[in-house]
Amino acid sequence: MSSNRTKVFASGLKNPSTKFLEWKSKDKYFSYYDKDKSLNVEVQLPLRFVVLEELSTIKGWSDSNSSGIYSNEVKFLSTQELNVKPFKGNPIAKGLYSVIKDVVKMAGGHYIKSVYVMLENGDLANIQLKGSAVQAWGEFTKVNRNKLSNQWTVIDKAIAGKKGSVTYSTPNAVLGEVLTDSEGSLADVAYNGLEAYLNAYLVKSDVVVAEAEEEALEPEEELAY
């Protein structure tokens, strides 16, 4: 096993992820934007992957600019600044999340937990969680953090929730099998590719979002639960 990969848990640059998966609370599944087909693709459960890295970012929609909102990704939310912008219009805010979060929310942005994973076929992907899904994921990783690099993680079902009159769902994560040697080697390769990207990306003071990510952003119909 790669010691560097295990340590994770003890910008004109192109993001190497092949898919950017978002949890669809109302529909109870993940989906990703397929640029070649110009459509959103449903990914039904169960979803099986190996966790490689976790970062934080901002996404959303600006009604005033009719534009998606994005920011750079950071490893340490309490000490590293976020630079939040719409694709069209003036910058929204720059600073620590604790300082700018109210301005970001008023502009239409919301916090995203950005989880980089290796899928079953060895591809690198990015899972984007918001609202209650972030809390559910945090509870799972808090208990299982020392196992995540050496075992599969499985999103096996959706858990229904309700806040006032709003119903929503969160993805339920459980631990799967221990990685075989060959699976561990695949995860090492995926992590090394991700690490090379992040080593360059995280030192940049600004960020240019890849075209595929920009096209996937659109007005959101659901609340950030």
Task: Give the span between the Cα atoms of 151 and 93, in whole angstroms.
Answer: 38
DSSP letter for 146, please: G
Question: CB burial class (10 A; 0-12, 13-18, 19+) of residue 98?
Answer: exposed
Cα 197–Cα 179–Cα 42 angle in degrees, nearest 5:
65
Q: What is the pLDDT of residue 1?
A: 55
Percentage, residues of the chain above pLDDT 70? 84
Do the beta carbons of residue 127 and residue 139 sit within 8 Å?
no
Neighbours of 194 (CB within 10 A): 23
pLDDT band, residue 200 (cuts 50/70/90) = confident
Q: What string of DSSP letters covers 18-45?
A: SEEEEEETTTTEEEEEETTTTEEEEEPS
pLDDT of 201 above 60: yes
Buried b (16+ CB within 10 A) or exposed e, 103-141: ebeebbbbbbbbbbbbbeeeebbbbbbbbbbbebbeebb
Mean pLDDT of 74-80: 93
Say what the pLDDT of residue 224 is.
Answer: 47
Output the pTM of the full model: 0.85
pLDDT of residue 87: 93
Question: What are the pLDDT digits (tens) for 22-39?
Answer: 999 999 999 999 988 889
Under the banding of pLDDT at 50, 70 and 90, the label for residue 203 is low
Average pLDDT over residues 54-83: 94
Q: Is residue 103 pLDDT above 80, yes or no?
A: yes
pLDDT tens digits for 124-183?
999 999 999 999 999 999 999 999 999 999 999 999 998 888 889 999 999 999 999 999
Of 75, 77, 58, nearest to 8 (Cα)? 75
Long-range interactions of 93-97: CB distance < 8 A, separation 24+ = 97/56
pLDDT number for residue 225: 53
Q: What is the pLDDT of residue 12?
A: 55
pLDDT tops 80 at residue 99: yes
Q: Identify the pLDDT of residue 164.
A: 85
Listed by start position, the domains of the chain span 3-216
pLDDT for the residue 206 = 52
Structure tokens given for 206: 């600004």
For residue 223, pLDDT over 80 is answered with no
